[in-house]
């Protein structure tokens, strides 16, 4: 089964497969890998709610997951989370808007005149990396390195499948990790001597139970933020543009009524959730839909499928930018609810406003099916060549 769900066709469009499995067996066991998967909204939400039964301290086939916030349980989880939450306050995030616009426009300026670009490489990839780099407090010129590191981290998801791809991902991560450690150690040392108003300084100065964070903890945050903030947001923007290109009536609707943009963004993450699967491990036997998942099982919680569950969403296979209500769980739910949700929404809002107000027509520049990104738990195109015409009047979406 793992080979099947790793194939490009299924990764490009897993939704037919989800629909079949959700209907036939919403709680699925893969005997070969030993993994369990949850597909329906009710089970997925329950797994996120009940963090005592569904622990985030997971042991995928290749060993224990790294000790990052997202893979911790309380009480340590709550303490570490509190440190970063102070950086991601609504006010601090809203204050970033002008800077994000500036970065976005600079990226677009480079490519607009050509009438063609690869949305992923030229825009949606770099933008979130630059934003999170500034928030953490790292120089923007180091961007190429971050992008390489971010890819090495995200590729770790291959480890879940085992086999050659897992071995390669682990091999490639090791030198990247060593580079990151050297880089972060030096930067942290500088912040210790000369504090600034950034996340890195906050991490260097933070105390948990009267103790400073170790360099390993700081490196963990660095890796988590680098991957959680970039890959997901890149896919958010790419998936938005892709969904609008596929549904021109919805783009016309948005242009006619730009106030729908916040709703449209929620619909994008429901319709094509950037993170398709969360990871959990059962701490006791648990019964769901008449099946017993034994204690100690590795469980893939399929958010991307839950967000298409017809029991929860009317006409779930339709991309409807006015959908209301839209109780999607694309940013998770419960104690691990995404810390960067407001930032991701802001970046996507800025991105779509800039893209659609500066482009008149916009279409795919290739007839080939788009190539999906290579990591298991994320969903979006690896490349998205687009062709467009520039707008004469570019101050609004209309």
Binding segment for ligand HEM (CB under 6 A), chosen from 137-145, 188-196, 304-312, 325-333, is 325-333
By CB under 6 A, residue 76 contacts ligand HEM: no
By CB under 6 A, residue 69 contacts ligand HEM: yes
Q: Of residues 117, 130, 338, 359, which one binds ligand HEM by CB under 6 A? A: 338
Residue closest to 331 by CA, chosen among 253, 236, 252, 262: 236
Least CB distance to ligand HEM at residue 87 (A): 9
Direct distance between the N- and C-terminal alpha carbons of the chain, in angstroms, rounded to an integer: 46
Cα–Cα distances in angstroms (integers) from residue 140 to residues 121, 131, 162, in the given order? 16, 9, 35
CB-based contacts of 368, cutoff 8 Å, min separation 6 = none
By CB under 6 A, residue 268 contacts ligand HEM: no
E strands within the chain?
27-29, 36-38, 54-55, 116-118, 207-208, 211-212, 277-282, 286-288, 291-293, 298-302, 359-364, 385-390
By CB under 6 A, residue 199 contacts ligand HEM: no
Sign of the CA dihedral running 199, 203, 209, 215: positive
Least CB distance to ligand HEM at residue 195 (A): 21
Using the minimum distance from each CB to ligand HEM, give the nearer residue, 155 or 276.
276
By CB under 6 A, residue 274 contacts ligand HEM: yes
By CB under 6 A, residue 332 contacts ligand HEM: yes
Sign of the CA dihedral running 361, 365, 368, 369: negative
Least CB distance to ligand HEM at residue 186 (A): 23
Using the minimum distance from each CB to ligand HEM, give the nearer residue, 92 or 170.
92
- Give the separation between CA 330 and CA 332, rounded to whole angstroms: 5
Angle at 223 between CA 381 and CA 278, to 5 degrees: 60
CB-based contacts of 209, cutoff 8 Å, min separation 6 = 79
- DSSP conformation class of 62: T
Q: Of residues 81, 177, 255, 383, which one binds ligand HEM by CB under 6 A? A: 81
By CB under 6 A, residue 125 contacts ligand HEM: no
Using the minimum distance from each CB to ligand HEM, give the nearer residue, 260 or 342.
342
Using the minimum distance from each CB to ligand HEM, give the nearer residue, 10 or 92.
92
Q: Of residues 269, 293, 362, 376, which one binds ligand HEM by CB under 6 A? A: 269
Cβ atoms 254, 321 nearer than 8 A: yes
Q: Of residues 340, 372, 380, 381, which one binds ligand HEM by CB under 6 A? A: 340
- Give the separation between CA 378 and CA 45, rounded to whole angstroms: 19
Q: Which of residues 162-181 bind ligand HEM (CB under 6 A)?
A: none
CB-based contacts of 7, cutoff 8 Å, min separation 6 = none
Least CB distance to ligand HEM at residue 20 (A): 24
By CB under 6 A, residue 343 contacts ligand HEM: yes
By CB under 6 A, residue 344 contacts ligand HEM: yes
Residues that bind ligand HEM in the complex, under the rule CB under 6 A: 48, 56, 69-70, 81, 132, 224-225, 228-229, 232-233, 236, 269, 274-275, 278, 303, 330-332, 336, 338-340, 343-344
């Amino acid at each position: 089964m793992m080979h099947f769900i790793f194939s490009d066709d299924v990764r490009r469009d897993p939704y037919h497969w989800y629909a079949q499995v959700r209907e036939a067996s919403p709680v699925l066991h893969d005997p070969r890998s030993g993994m369990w998967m949850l597909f329906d909204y009710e089970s997925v939400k329950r797994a996120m709610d009940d963090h005592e039964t569904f622990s985030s301290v997971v042991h995928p086939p290749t060993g224990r997951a790294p000790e990052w916030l997202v893979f911790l349980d309380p009480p340590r989880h709550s303490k570490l989370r509190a440190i970063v939450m102070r950086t991601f306050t609504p006010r601090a995030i809203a204050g970033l808007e002008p800077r994000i616009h500036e970065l976005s426009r600079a990226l677009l300026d480079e490519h607009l005149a050509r009438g063609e670009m690869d949305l992923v490489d030229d825009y949606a990839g770099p933008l979130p990396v630059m934003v999170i780099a500034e928030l953490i407090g790292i120089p923007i010129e180091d961007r190429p390195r971050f992008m390489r590191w971010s890819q090495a981290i995200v590729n770790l998801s291959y480890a879940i499948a085992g086999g050659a791809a897992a071995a390669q991902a682990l091999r490639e991560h090791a030198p990247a990790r060593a580079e990151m450690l050297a880089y972060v150690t030096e930067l942290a040392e500088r912040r210790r001597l000369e504090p600034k108003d950034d996340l890195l300084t906050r991490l260097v100065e933070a105390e948990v139970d009267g103790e400073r964070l170790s360099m390993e903890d700081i490196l963990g945050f660095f890796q988590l933020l680098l991957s959680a903030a970039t890959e997901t947001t890149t896919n958010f923007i790419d998936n938005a543009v892709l969904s609008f290109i596929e549904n021109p009536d919805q783009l016309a609707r948005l242009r006619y009524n730009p106030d729908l943009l916040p709703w449209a963004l929620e619909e994008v993450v429901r319709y094509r959730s950037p993170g398709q699967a969360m990871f959990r491990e059962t701490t006791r036997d648990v019964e769901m839909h008449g099946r017993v998942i034994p204690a100690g099982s590795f469980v893939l919680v399929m958010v991307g499928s839950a967000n298409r569950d017809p029991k929860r969403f009317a006409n779930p296979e339709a991309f409807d930018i006015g959908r209301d209500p839209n109780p999607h769980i694309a940013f998770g739910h419960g104690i691990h609810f995404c810390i960067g949700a407001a930032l991701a929404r802001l970046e996507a809002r800025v991105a779509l406003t800039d893209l659609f107000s500066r482009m008149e027509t916009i279409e795919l520049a290739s007839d080939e099916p788009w190539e999906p990104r290579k990591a298991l738990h994320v969903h979006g195109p690896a490349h998205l060549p687009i062709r467009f015409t520039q707008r004469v009047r570019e101050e609004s979406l209309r």
